Structure 1
Amino acid sequence: MKSAELLLDAFSRIQDAVHEAVEGLSDDELTERIDPDANTVAWLVWHLSRIQDDHIADAFGTEQVWTSEGFSGRFGLPFPEDATGYGHTSAQVAAVRAPADLLLDYYDTVHARTVEHITSLTDADLDRVVDTRWTPHVTLGVRIVSVITDDNQHVGQAAYVRGVVERAGGAG
């Protein structure tokens, strides 16, 4: 198995988990909080999509799906266009309201763009430095693994929140 195939497999598993966490939930269930300051399924999926979109676009020198495909306008969130959710307050988390189909459309479009970039990667490409602000400098391989790790953590959190919401009988 080549590195690109391994990375594609990881991202496809994330896509499956995102769909499992979101599909079939109502708008209220997507935004239900399991405690007053908890992240919602909607925010978690929006955030992991934004981080993947931001980091992959930066690493490959392309425009983000968020802006190039009009998702910023479709979501209509009260944040700057470059917001990814990093450092969001409880009130900002609550402001992310989107139906399941929009969340999944954005994630799937980001996923497709990610696949386009990764499909053509060679093992040598993974050693290319993409961020010199850190010591040691961040390579493409390290950045991609970082995105996969972040996505897995957040989709796992979304699945957990979904389970709690479903056990409680949905939004209340």
Structure 2
Amino acid sequence: MTAQPTPSVPHVALLTDAFGRIAGSVHRVLRGITPGRLAYRPDPEANTVAWLVWHLARVQDDHVADVAGTEQRWTAGGWADKFGLPFDVADTGYGHTPEQVAAVRADADLLRGYLDDVHAATTAYLATVTAEDLERVVDTSWDPPVTLGVRLVSVVGDDLQHVGQAAYVRGLAERAGV
């Protein structure tokens, strides 16, 4: 991953930094990881590192493409075909069963490539966001309705939790000698 230039607009700089921390943390989790550690499950219902990284990238891709009004990188970048998962193309992993989690088998390069593509699309979109845009309502199904700013912060929070979980599962796999 290459360093992104720091935008001069404070909200853009802050959001770009937050999303950059996600990408950097994922890169650290995936650095030198073995296939066994990517697929390790501390118990039969736990998420794997591969699933956690795939899911956090899918959620970011889905949510940012939605607010940006663009096609997801999952389809536009050919990632759905590259991964070849047995899911609907719109699936982001939300509510997956243990069997569906186990179906996400991918190597570190594939996961990293997809995340990097999503991250590039996210930072390109963020560069276009004005302070006024952050107040725009993007989802009326919640009370109160969700603004763009809240949606972006929600994605950051969710992704940071998942990358932390991935780091923890990797550590468990290492301790288990996998």
The alignment of Structure 1 onto Structure 2 pairs a total of residues equal to 170
The equivalent position to 2:150 in structure 1, one of 139, 142, 147, is 142
The Cα of 1:17 is off from its aligned counterpart by 0.5
22-31 or 106-115: which moved more? 22-31
What's 1:73 paired with?
Answer: 81
- What TM-score, normalized by structure 1, do the two folds share? 0.96
Output the amino acid matched with 1:21: V
In 1, Cα distance between the equivalents of 2:54 and 2:85?
A: 11
The Cα of 1:77 is off from its aligned counterpart by 0.3
Please list the CA deviations of residues 121-172 of structure 1 after superposition, one character each: whole Å capped at 9, or x if unmatched. Answer: 22111001111111211110000000000000000000000111112212xx
What's 1:59 paired with?
Answer: 67
Please list the CA deviations of residues 2-46 of structure 1 after superposition, one character each: whole Å capped at 9, or x if unmatched. Answer: 111000011111111001111211222101111111100000000
In 2, Cα distance between the equivalents of 1:13 and 1:107?
A: 12
What's 2:12 paired with?
Answer: 4
In 2, Cα distance between the equivalents of 1:116 and 1:157?
A: 27
Residues 1:115 and 2:123 aligned together: yes
Between the two proteins, what is the percent identity of the paired residues? 61
SS in 1 for 2:88: coil
What's 2:109 paired with?
Answer: 101
In 1, Cα distance between the equivalents of 2:36 and 2:87?
A: 21
The Cα of 1:120 is off from its aligned counterpart by 2.1
What's 1:155 paired with?
Answer: 163
Structure 1 gap segments, 5+ residues each: none
In 2, Cα distance between the equivalents of 1:85 and 1:120?
A: 28
108-117 or 119-128: which moved more? 119-128
Residues 1:22 and 2:33 aligned together: no
Runs of at least 4 residues off by over 3 Å:
none
What's 1:169 paired with?
Answer: 177
- What TM-score, normalized by structure 2, do the two folds share? 0.93
82-91 or 159-168: which moved more? 159-168
Output the amino acid matched with 2:126: I
